[in-house]
Amino acid sequence: MTQLELDWVRERRAAYERAYPDVPSETREIEVSAEEFADYERVEPYRGSAHVWVVRDPEDAPPTSPSTDEEPDDRPRVLLLFPRGEREYWGIPGGGIEPGEDHETAAVREVREETGVDCDPSDPWLVLHRIWSVPDTDDASHSLHLFYRGTYAGGEISVQPGEANGAAWFATLPARRGEFVDRRATEWPPE
């Protein structure tokens, strides 16, 4: 990582901490092997990611079909993504920041790309600074990850096959869920 990239991570984190002083801001140091670090540097050329806990109110749900004799469910739902690869749990949609993007712009783009759903992010609920390093070396890479609250703004689930095995709206959270879904679970379902 260049000094310019590290400065960007530090400056953005400081700006978010000033703008949102009540939002938890954490640093997570992750030690990896030299081989894992080389892979990380090669496949993750971005400086971080942005994710949105998208909530859809009952009135935004599509109408039930005429063949359904059930009453519409009046509970809010949250959009979760089941990624491809080794992570076999439901997570919060989002992904990497592209050059020239800010976190909020990346959050909207990534949720739309991964799920087909449009969202309106609001305030963040977590700022996470990750430091990937190789023990006993000066090799380190910094990234900044933001997790936003958000609301449904339109669209229907249409999963990007290259990135996910599925996406769904949940009124009750699934049992197999990732760390960040667990962190939001304390506030779900809303009262």
Indicate the domain borders of the chain: 3-62+74-185
Mean per-residue pLDDT for 83-97? 90
The pLDDT of residue 40 is: 66
The CA angle 156-179-106, to the nearest 5 degrees, is 45
Who contacts 4 (Cβ-Cβ below 8 Å, separation ≥6)? none
Strands 94-96 and 140-155, by their bridges, are unpaired
Reading phi first (left if > 0) and then psi (alpha if -120 to 50, else beta), residue 48 is in left
| Cα–Cα dist 83/89, whole Å | 7
Q: What percent of the chain stands above pLDDT 90?
A: 59
Q: Would you say residue 63 has pLDDT above 80?
A: no
| Cα–Cα dist 6/12, whole Å | 10
The pLDDT of residue 132 is: 83
Nearest to 164 by CA among 93, 107, 104: 93
Give per-residue pLDDT as tens, 134-153.
899 888 888 899 999 999 99
- CATH number assigned to the domain with residue range 3-62+74-185, chosen from the 4 options 3.90.79.10, 3.20.20.70, 3.10.290.10, 3.90.1300.10: 3.90.79.10
Nearest to 23 by CA among 128, 95, 109: 128
Indicate the average pLDDT of the chain.
89
Kindly indicate the confidence band of residue 95, based on its pLDDT and cuts at 50, 70 and 90: very high
The pLDDT of residue 65 is: 75
